Amino acid sequence: MTSITTTTTTHSTVFLSLLVIFLTTFSSPALAQLSVSFYGSTCPSVFDTVRAATRSAINREARMGASILRLFFHDCFVGGCDGGILLAGGERNAPANGDTVRGFDVIDNIKRQVDAACGRSVVSCADILAISARDSIIELGGQSYSIPLGRRDTRTPNIAAARSDLPAPFDPLNIIINKFSRKGFSAREMVALSGAHTVGLARCSSFKNRIYNETNIDPAFAASRQANCPQTGGDSNLAPLDPQSPNRFGNNYFQALLSRRGLLSSDQVLFNGGSTDSIVRTYSDDADAFSTDFTNAMIKMGNLSPLTGTQGEIRTTCQRVN
């Protein structure tokens, strides 16, 4: 009896070992899962280091939290969360990015600090961006969440996708819904993610047409924005996306849409008599509903086709390939 049990155990152990070897050798790296504890043994201080460095960057310049959050969105939406946006001379020069994405030096600086803390370069730039975006949300007063990790950095930026996949401030609602739906997001998730515009700034060139030509805008709000955004020139003058609190994460953005004070045309189309009006109303009434949906959608966005396993590389400097 004993010997039979032993033999069975040995057989199943051998079988299991073979199965593990088979799976780790032959399973597609694309199937590899991200995991919260990915750097648990190789770089346990990654969270503390990114958190402190993100905080000090925001203390130096309040807008930086918003800029990092946007970098993460533009990374994930273009060929997946693979650090592609960070490479000099690639995706970041596409029209939707050109001149308006920022924070590259801050991410490089965080990467240097993480590598110093862990004694070697084991954490990808794509993961550092994901953690720093989450920490930015926390610093600005938003909800925390756990981030699955293990993304690797691309060697090949996806410039064509940067042109086609990112939403533009002039896009009508159906196009915006469609661009998010191609990434697997519902209209409700798209509206929740747009709530990121509760923080940060936009350039006059991004909202000029809206404040001079559109009619679904509060006249006093249009006049006050026109004061710092002339019909010709002044293209890089800045205005807050959320008129009340550009450095505080909350649902004020949705309340602004209800009073027709969306800054971008693409903000106001979310509440303009169309299919997403009721979602905007929900979030403007219920900060918790917004917070929960936003958090879930951010985690989902962070899972957009990451490179894993042996794909890509762990960059040493985020702005260039090794």
Ligand X SMILES: *[C@@H]1O[C@H](CO)[C@@H](O)[C@H](O)[C@H]1NC(C)=O
CB of 304 to ligand HEM, least distance (A): 12
Q: Is 196 in the site for ligand HEM (CB under 6 A)?
A: yes
Q: Which does 208 bind (CB under 5 to 8 A by kind): ligand X, ligand HEM, none?
A: ligand X
- In three-state secondary structure terms, 42 is coil
Contact 216, 256 (CB under 8 A): no
Q: Is 228 in the site for ligand X (CB under 6 A)?
A: no
Give the span between the Cα atoms of 320 and 322, in whole angstroms.
6
**Sole window of 49-57, 105-113, 208-216, 288-296 interacting with ligand X (rule: CB under 6 A):** 208-216
**Sole window of 47-55, 118-126, 202-210, 254-262 interacting with ligand HEM (rule: CB under 6 A):** 202-210
Give the span between the Cα atoms of 301 and 77, in whole angstroms.
8
Query: Which residue, 5 or 232, is less far from ligand X as judged by CB?
Result: 232
Give the span between the Cα atoms of 78 and 85, in whole angstroms.
8
Q: Which tokens sit at 41?
A: 């043994």
Contacts of 108 (CB under 8 A, 6+ apart): 317, 318, 319
Indicate which residue of 74, 134, 152, 261 is catalytic: 74
Match 């490479």 to its residue by tokens: 87
Closest residue to ligand HEM: CB criterion: 200
Q: Which residues are annotated as a binding site?
A: 75, 78, 80, 82, 91, 167, 197-198, 242
Query: Which residue, 66 or 162, is less far from ligand HEM as judged by CB?
Result: 66
Alpha carbon 261 to its chain's center: 24
Q: Which does 201 bind (CB under 5 to 8 A by kind): ligand HEM, ligand X, none?
A: ligand HEM
Query: Exposure string (b/e) for 282-310, b if CB count within 10 Å is 16 or more?
Result: bbbeeeeebbebbbebbbebbbbebbbee
Give the closest residue to 29 by CA, choosing from 92, 86, 100, 82.
Answer: 82
Q: Which tokens sit at 28?
A: 């597609």
Q: Is 73 in the site for ligand HEM (CB under 6 A)?
A: yes
Q: Which does 231 bind (CB under 5 to 8 A by kind): ligand HEM, ligand X, none?
A: ligand X
Contact 167, 175 (CB under 8 A): yes
Q: Is position 11 annotated as part of the catalytic site? A: no
Query: Which residue, 67 or 158, is less far from ligand HEM as judged by CB?
Result: 67
Give the span between the Cα atoms of 212 and 322, in whole angstroms.
47
Binders in 76-105 for ligand HEM, by CB under 6 A: 100, 102
Q: Is 129 in the site for ligand HEM (CB under 6 A)?
A: no
CB of 278 to ligand HEM, least distance (A): 17
Task: Select from 34, 217, 264, 304 the one that contacts ligand HEM (CB under 6 A).
Answer: 264
Q: Is 199 in the site for ligand HEM (CB under 6 A)?
A: yes
**Sole window of 100-108, 196-204, 209-217, 259-267 interacting with ligand X (rule: CB under 6 A):** 209-217
Contacts of 149 (CB under 8 A, 6+ apart): 34, 35, 36, 38, 39, 127, 130, 131
Give the span between the Cα atoms of 205 and 230, in whole angstroms.
10
Q: Which tokens sit at 217?
A: 């805008």
| Interface characters, 205-244, with ligand HEM (x: CB under 6 A) | -x----------------------------------x---
By CB under 6 A, name the binding residues for ligand X.
208-209, 212-213, 231
> Where does this chain bind ligand HEM (CB under 6 A)?
63, 66-67, 69-70, 73, 100, 102, 167-169, 171, 176, 193-194, 196-197, 199-203, 206, 241, 264, 266
